[in-house]
Amino acid sequence: MCGIVGYVGSREVVPVLIHGLMRLEYRGYDSAGIAIIDETGNLIIEKAVGKIKDLTEHLWGKNIKGHIGIGHTRWATHGPPTVENAHPHKSRDNSIALVHNGIVENYVQLKEDLISKGYKFSSQTDTEVIAHLIEEEWDENLLKTVLKVAKKLKGAYAVGIISTKEPDKIVALRKGSPLVIGIGEGENFIASDIPAVLEYTNKFITLNDDEIAVITKDSVDIYNIDGEKLEREPFTVNWDISVAEKEGYKHFMLKEIHQQPKSLTDTISGFLSNLDNPVFDNLNKFNKLYIIACGTSFHAGLVGKFWIEKFLKIPVIVDYASEFRYRESPIDEKTLILAISQSGETADTRFAAIDSQKKGAKVLSIVNVVGSSLSRESDYVLYTYCGPEIGVAATKTYTAQLITLFLFAVYGGLKRGFISQREFEDFRHHLSILPKAIEETLKWEDKIKDIAYKYQNVKDFLFLGRGLNYPTALEGALKLKEISYIHAEGYPAGEMKHGPIALIDENMPVVCIAPEDEIFEKMLSNIQEVKARKGIVITVTDSDNSELEKLSDEIVKVEKVSSQLSPIVNILPLQLLSYYIATFLGKDVDQPRNLAKTVTVE
């Protein structure tokens, strides 16, 4: 949802900004731009519609030089992707340029006010008001002025500002949208996300809400909204830059699919080395649990409900965060909200969690990005240990969310006395062999590629599953929709006869997730129903059942794992299927149209 980057130091600034923007492109790719203060102290702004490569082509031959600047890659909210609406935006007197991630909610009122004072607007964005406001409110210096302006802004934002009046500093301000400060030697950075500047530094400071930073090449000073100076120690990130590279894979999505044996191993050991998480000592205080999340994280929550109700014996309601927030659910101090979010920045999820806290509930979050807003706002946090996920379609973080939910349920069950130590050890054993099962399942890649090739031109897909694997069907359909733009629906297989079966004919591929579990026979009957209507059956199973083989037009055999863990293995062929269909169709797999990785607007 827009990425921002900034640099001050002795390097040539343009390549630093462009590299940073390329690493942030997953956050939005409608248009991009940079602003720098050149060697003669002038403000230069360059923008282009499209991706960072379009901006790079636009910059070709311009030979812009300078050592301080800011950059932006946009996911359009207010106004279509045009050069006028692209960031950076500037003040009327050409002294100030800024980049913004988020939404200024009271921009209409601020804009009308500024227009009445003679300001002219060249874009339809909410952002431009900030640039004019800084000019209008100018008071001695940039910091003092930004402190004044920040008090007038409503909404969520991360902003980076440069000014020709103080050409040696970047002022950054944050409320609700992510922003980190990278600390170098004789150079400093701002960025929406760590990988943007990881090739230059591994030391970072997270700017908190309602904080303002003044950054020069040799100093970083942080202030609260009242202008009081704050102390903040940097933290060190021990990732190397390869986390932000494709490492030989054609796309980040494919790399991330293949990283799952490792991300699961890391997430399991991360969980098991943090068993002293205080949430486990407090579980008896709660009599109900709401899981709130969006998109893929919501699907993980649907699986989590099965495990939590089974092992932890607490009733669970799973809801889209955007729906939950505007319903009057009975929330009190006996309610535990389990908020699941890869980014930890999704506005719908964060605000639903914060609202619930105000009603007395406690919030436990499952988050991948350490230090993200949701992780800091929660009462308890469980991390997935996946490293950065750059492909817009979530893959490795989904399976890591699943494993964390499973561990939460079984360890919580142990703590509450519903599971014996022996049963817990048994589950640990099943978990220890899971990464190998994932590796073996990924060996079906070539077969899945063939299936993808065969069905790439189909207009609609149906995904069916039951029980624990009904959410797998939903997630398989979501993956296909978002990266190949093929219409797909996920459905509980037993529900099909109540309506959707009417869709099935000889042109409809039906992906059937059929693990050999206690409802296998029922699933087999549902597959018979599909076949009887001439549907094309593509089966994902761990079974050697000969009837199933006869019914299947295509079959992918996943490794056998404990049936409780089957959703973690069964999703892999579906991730690969959507990946290969999308690549055969020539779609932009890592940056599908209209989407952004981190959705910081409601």
Q: Which of 85, 95, 343, 539 binds ligand F6R (CB under 6 A)?
A: 343
Q: Which amino acid is at 253?
A: M
At its nearest, how many Å lie between ligand F6R and the CB of residue 59? 31
Residue 574 to residues 71, 307, 312, 320, 540: CA-CA distances in angstroms? 36, 22, 29, 22, 9
At its nearest, how many Å lie between ligand F6R and the CB of residue 313? 27
The neighbour count for residue 106, using CB atoms within 10 Å, is 14
256 makes contact with ligand F6R (CB under 6 A): no
What gap in Å lies between CA 395 and CA 387, rounded to an integer?
12
Stretch near ligand F6R under the rule CB under 6 A, chosen from 19-27, 155-163, 240-248, 293-301? 293-301
What gap in Å lies between CA 520 and CA 31, rounded to an integer?
49
The neighbour count for residue 121, using CB atoms within 10 Å, is 16
In the complex with ligand F6R, the residue whose CB is nearer, 331 or 340, is 340
Catalytic pick among 2, 294, 386, 512: 2
List, in sequence order, the alpha helices (H) in 137-173: 142-150
At its nearest, how many Å lie between ligand F6R and the CB of residue 564? 23
Q: Would you list the DSSP string of 259-324?
A: THHHHHHHHHHHHHTTTT-THHHHGGG-SEEEEEE-HHHHHHHHHHHHHIIIII---EEEEEHHHH
387 makes contact with ligand F6R (CB under 6 A): no
134 makes contact with ligand F6R (CB under 6 A): no
In the complex with ligand F6R, the residue whose CB is nearer, 388 or 412, is 388
At its nearest, how many Å lie between ligand F6R and the CB of residue 395? 8
On whether the CB atoms of residues 86 and 77 are closer than 8 A, the answer is no
The torsion angles phi and psi of 153, rounded to 5 degrees, stand at -90, 135
482 makes contact with ligand F6R (CB under 6 A): yes
386 makes contact with ligand F6R (CB under 6 A): no
Stretch near ligand F6R under the rule CB under 6 A, chosen from 68-76, 302-310, 341-349, 506-514? 341-349
What gap in Å lies between CA 100 and CA 104, rounded to an integer?
9
Half-sphere exposure of 239 (CA within 13 A, CB side): 20
91 makes contact with ligand F6R (CB under 6 A): no
Residue 491 to residues 80, 295, 462, 487, 560: CA-CA distances in angstroms? 35, 16, 7, 13, 23
296 makes contact with ligand F6R (CB under 6 A): yes
Q: Is the peptide bond before 167 cis (omega within 30 degrees of 0)?
A: no
Q: What is the sign of the dihedral through the CA atoms of 27, 33, 108 and 160?
A: positive
342 makes contact with ligand F6R (CB under 6 A): yes
In the complex with ligand F6R, the residue whose CB is nearer, 308 or 321, is 321
294 makes contact with ligand F6R (CB under 6 A): yes
Q: At what angle do helices 445-455 and 566-584 cross, to 10 degrees?
A: 50
Residue recorded with tokens 């964005």 = 125
At its nearest, how many Å lie between ligand F6R and the CB of residue 472? 14
**Which tokens in the block code for residue 506?**
């000889």
341 makes contact with ligand F6R (CB under 6 A): yes
Residue 300 to residues 332, 402, 435: CA-CA distances in angstroms? 24, 6, 18
Q: Total residues at the site for ligand F6R (CB under 6 A)? A: 14
The torsion angles phi and psi of 199, rounded to 5 degrees, stand at -75, -10
Stretch near ligand F6R under the rule CB under 6 A, chosen from 28-36, 288-296, 438-446, 576-584? 288-296
Rounded to the nearest angstrom, the gap between the alpha carbon of residue 444 and the centroid of all alpha carbons in its chain is 27
In the complex with ligand F6R, the residue whose CB is nearer, 98 or 386, is 386
Q: Which amino acid is at 151?
A: K
What gap in Å lies between CA 37 and CA 45, rounded to an integer?
9
At its nearest, how many Å lie between ligand F6R and the CB of residue 31? 21
Stretch near ligand F6R under the rule CB under 6 A, chosen from 278-286, 340-348, 508-516, 549-557? 340-348
In the complex with ligand F6R, the residue whose CB is nearer, 163 or 341, is 341
In the complex with ligand F6R, the residue whose CB is nearer, 343 or 378, is 343
State yes or no: is 512 an active-site residue. no
**Burial, 532: exposed, middle or buried (Cβ in 10 Å; 0-12, 13-18, 19+)?**
exposed
Binding mask 390-409 for ligand F6R (x = CB under 6 A): ---xx---------------
At its nearest, how many Å lie between ligand F6R and the CB of residue 493? 23
**Can you say whether residue 298 is alpha, beta or left, with left for phi > 0 and alpha for psi between -120 and 50 degrees?**
alpha
To the nearest 10°, the Cα dihedral for 144, 146, 151, 157?
-150
Give the list of residues 6+ apart from residue 499 with CB closer than 8 angstroms, or none.
Answer: none
At its nearest, how many Å lie between ligand F6R and the CB of residue 345? 7
Catalytic pick among 47, 90, 587, 597: 597
In the complex with ligand F6R, the residue whose CB is nearer, 442 or 478, is 478
On whether the CB atoms of residues 126 and 156 are closer than 8 A, the answer is no
At its nearest, how many Å lie between ligand F6R and the CB of residue 478? 6
3 makes contact with ligand F6R (CB under 6 A): no
**Which tokens in the block code for residue 566?**
């089957």
471 makes contact with ligand F6R (CB under 6 A): no
Q: Which of 6, 88, 195, 295 binds ligand F6R (CB under 6 A)?
A: 295
513 makes contact with ligand F6R (CB under 6 A): no
Coil, strand, or helix at residue 192? coil
State yes or no: is 436 an active-site residue. no
In the complex with ligand F6R, the residue whose CB is nearer, 147 or 179, is 179
In the complex with ligand F6R, the residue whose CB is nearer, 125 or 343, is 343
At its nearest, how many Å lie between ligand F6R and the CB of residue 297? 4
Stretch near ligand F6R under the rule CB under 6 A, chosen from 141-149, 295-303, 439-447, 464-472? 295-303
- Given the rule CB under 6 A, which residues bind ligand F6R? 294-297, 341-343, 346, 349, 393-394, 478, 482, 599
Query: Which residues carry out catalysis?
Result: 2, 597
